[in-house]
Amino acid sequence: MSSSVNLRTIYAFAREMYPKKVTTNIEYGTAGFRTKADKLDYVMYRMGLLATLRSRVKGGQTIGVMITASHNPEPDNGVKLIDPRGEMLENSWEQLATDLANVSDKDLQSEVEKVIQTHNIDMGSASSVFVGMDNRYHSPGLLKAVSDGVLALKGNVKSFGIVTTPMLHYMVLCSNSCGAYGTPTEEGYYQKLITAFRALRGSECERGNYKNQLLFDGSNGVGARKMLQFLKRMNDELNVTVYNQGEGKINENCGADYVKIGQTLPIGTPDSEPYTRCVSIDGDADRVVYFFTDEKKKFHLLDGDRIATLYAGYLMDLVTKCEIDLKLGIVQTAYANGGSTDYIEKELKVPVACVPTGVKHLHHKALEYDIGVYFEANGHGTIVFSEHTKESVRAVADNSELNEEQIEAAKKLLSTIEVINETVGDAISDMFLVEIILQSNGWDVKDWYNTYTDLPNLQKKICVANRNIITTTDAERKVVTPEGLQNGIDEIVAKYPRGRSFVRPSGTEDIVRVYAEAATNEDVEHLVAEVSQLVYGLAGGIGPELNSTANGLPN
């Protein structure tokens, strides 16, 4: 193992600039590290170290480091690493991240040396780290800490400044695919999506019930800025009114999470005609939900489940017209509404897989299909296409001997692949495809909303002394411990038509989440109350049950 790096600089940087002043441990989870911004300087520095090591392990391929707290309040911040193909960090390295973040300053050098030895890293080899951040006021200082971590190990760092999380994922993959996926610049990102959008929409902006009018809640985050940049380049092809552009605090009374959980309009929503399409994204633009109000001003939500079903119907139609034998599947979590699952299986006749909560679980399962559509109900999701799919579709598009409908469908499918950001959920990319499909179908939000009926559902949280007393299996839908809890839930659920309920411990705090759905609002209220009381008794509740939420979001 050759080395041109003086590892003593690791401790020198840490001691002088990024000392660890926090005594409690922090854990790298599905969302990376996330907490109050003033507790993250030392973590960011250490993640710069880890990203450089990861790049060298991967033969100098680019690794991404995104500084964001996504849908969290503005005082929070966080960091997550992006692997070479734009995917989330490999599981085994999540533990390395946790270990590196929690050692003392004086043990930091030896912890880095352990990683180097375990993975036989040539410290003289090339490395590449891309860094991006959201628009929180404390992000620039944290970005500098990441960059200093890279420089401490003599790595190469490139800062993209303020970008959405999906943009950085895109740029990492572009860099490592030598441009095959796209150009690794902000302009390259805009042009790739716009070109595909134009190819699919054509010159006709309105069709049938579809009107070219959209209200866009930017959650005062980076996505608002980037949407405005798209619109500058799109010549009114999409008539979008952007609000919550940055005049307020990120995610405060606005954004996808607020709209989803509260089942309400975000602050600042302009007055509009009934059934006007409205869209809301989160602070780093990787979640998207649609909503509208009717003539009685009643709020209606079109969440990730709705987007997934819209995508699946569109893709099934194109695949059928291409006359290619491809395996299409939808991946959901237990939080997906039973109404959506029934519609997918019985009407669309598309296979549905259920996996544990967390985007990485959905993404990995989606890769098992030729075309995998995955969405969490919170609006985080995308589509992944296998190489076999792409090659098969190109072959049809290039075969002039086939009929015109086949060739046209194949070309549309190729453009659909281009408009989708396969690396991660991308609010703007996902929104573009929704608009493309609605326009193609000639649908307004009523047409979309009426494809199926959601079952009434509620979620409650129970405070417990130790959330780990509850363990689950079957994609978190069945309880293993404590003994007797699952049997009790089954007995309660059996009393209610179309009843379903499950419980799972939070991944971040000592609470247990109880989800329930049933045929009527009255039934679901009784169901969630009975199951919550059972959990409270058997899992050692220590305080009052917290408020329930309709279509509540898991953490």
How many C-beta atoms surround the C-beta of residue 193 within 10 A? 24
Instruction: Extract the tokens encoding 352.
Output: 């549905």
* CB-CB contact of 81 with 98 (8 Å): no
Q: Which one from 2, 55, 70, 159 is the annotated catalytic residue?
A: 70
257 to 44, 72, 246, 265: CA distances (angstroms): 26, 9, 17, 11
174 to 43, 233, 403, 457: CA distances (angstroms): 27, 21, 34, 41
In terms of DSSP H, where are the helices of 177-300? Answer: 186-201, 222-232, 256-262
The label of the residue with tokens 């911004």 reads 37
Task: Sort 180 into a burial class: Cβ within 10 Å, 0-12 / 13-18 / 19+.
Answer: exposed
Supply the DSSP symbol for 138. Answer: T
* CB-CB contact of 260 with 301 (8 Å): yes
For residues 518 and 421, give the distance between their C-alpha atoms in angstroms, rounded to a whole number: 35
Closest CA to 362 of 399, 342, 336: 336
Task: Sort 416 into a burial class: Cβ within 10 Å, 0-12 / 13-18 / 19+.
Answer: buried
The label of the residue with tokens 């994922």 reads 169
Supply the DSSP symbol for 172. Answer: H
The label of the residue with tokens 């949280």 reads 461
To the query of whether residue 70 is one of the catalytic residues in this protein, the response is yes
1 to 5, 8, 55, 286: CA distances (angstroms): 12, 17, 16, 40
- Region of residue 540 (left: phi > 0; alpha: psi -120 to 50; beta: else): left
Q: Which residues, 6+ apart, have CB-to-CB distance to 531 below 8 Å?
A: 489, 492, 493, 501, 503, 514, 516
Task: Sort 327 into a burial class: Cβ within 10 Å, 0-12 / 13-18 / 19+.
Answer: middle
Instruction: Extract the tokens encoding 281.
Output: 């994204």
CA dihedral 321, 326, 327, 333 (to 10 degrees): -60
For residues 118 and 65, give the distance between their C-alpha atoms in angstroms, rounded to a whole number: 23
Active site residues: 70
